[in-house]
Structure 1
Amino acid sequence: MTELDEAAEPLVRQRLMPAGSWDWHIPTPFSQGWKVGDLVFVGGQLSADEHGNVIGRGDIELQTRNVFEAITRVLEEGGATWRDVVKLNTYYCCDEIGDAVQEFWEKMTRVRLEYLPTPGPVGTAIRVAGLMYNGFLIEADAIAVVGSGGAISRR
């Protein structure tokens, strides 16, 4: 064992399950998020009520807002804010073609930008054929570093 090993304290893990968040309709061990040390991992969030039912069927703006509000609740429970988010993954379903895809994307992105600071996190957006159940149009997950929002280097 090295001096570094002896000095290192085990990282504290905290399960994040904000009140009002949806839960699985069957028993599972999944969590809305985890805080491990200064990191907050937010699991995939959907536009769902407490029972997992779709909210805002067919409305990408409403679903995006609900997803980002759900992420906000998990972040807050872990002591983080959107300024602390360093990675954002977005999965979205769009059956539209042509100009309708662009309109769908723009509606979704306008809502997302209401939450994201400048400069924002690194991000990935993936168009998928489907999510957990029919009717869900967007799912997103995030990783944050608690307290990092005030110490942004602009290099």
Structure 2
Amino acid sequence: MTTIDSYSHDVSGEKEFGFAQAIRVGDTIYVSGQLSHDADGDFLHPDDFDAQLQQSYANFEKVLAHYGATRNQVVSETQFIVDLPKHNTAMAAANLAYFGDHRPTSSTIGVASLFFPGQLIEISFVLDTRLPA
């Protein structure tokens, strides 16, 4: 039997929209789109791509900590970016800095808008915990 474990940041929106931040099914962890919010779920840094990106990674680190996983176990990421031509170079540089020598698969999708006014980035991840941490 496969074990299932879900994780939430316990912020507004999770219960209202019916989702978890992540769910582990066996050795695979599926992570919902991470974005720039604080511990109360309040959106941070409207229209500041770099600050939103750093906060999104910080929120993802909380998911990793819950599961005892590391970014080296990420096998796939999907980035949703408002005004992709403007932010593509910053995203690439941040991605290289965040993952170092690790190279997960990646899809970058330009979008017209995201949930919050001023939201420019959202990133979802898939991890395989059989990979070395």
Q: Going by fraction, where is strand more abundant, 1 or 2?
A: 2
Query: Hey, what does 1:153 align to over in structure 2?
Result: none
Please state if 1:113 is matched with 2:96.
yes
- Of structures 1 and 2, the larger Rg is shown by 1
CA deviation vs aligned residue, 1:40-93 (integer Å, no higher than 9, x gap): 111111112244432111211110111111112112212211000000000000
Query: Hey, what does 1:11 align to over in structure 2?
Result: 2
RMSD of Structure 2 on Structure 1 (CA): 2.1
Aligned length: 133
Unaligned 5+ runs, structure 1 = 1-9, 151-155
Aligned partners of 2:132 and 2:98: how far apart in 1? 13
Letter of the aligned partner of 1:28 in structure 2?
Answer: F
Aligned partners of 1:61 and 1:119: how far apart in 2? 21
Unaligned 5+ runs, structure 2 = none
CA positional deviation for 1:26: 6.3
Partner SS for 1:133: coil
Q: Is the 8 A contact 1:42 1:75 kept in 2?
A: no
Partner SS for 2:32: strand
The percent identity for this pair of structures is 25
Please give the TM-score of this superposition, normalised by the length of structure 1: 0.76
Query: Hey, what does 1:43 align to over in structure 2?
Result: 32
Aligned partners of 1:81 and 1:115: how far apart in 2? 11
Q: Is the 8 A contact 1:34 1:41 kept in 2?
A: yes
CA deviation vs aligned residue, 1:2-29 (integer Å, no higher than 9, x gap): xxxxxxxx111011124xx633176232
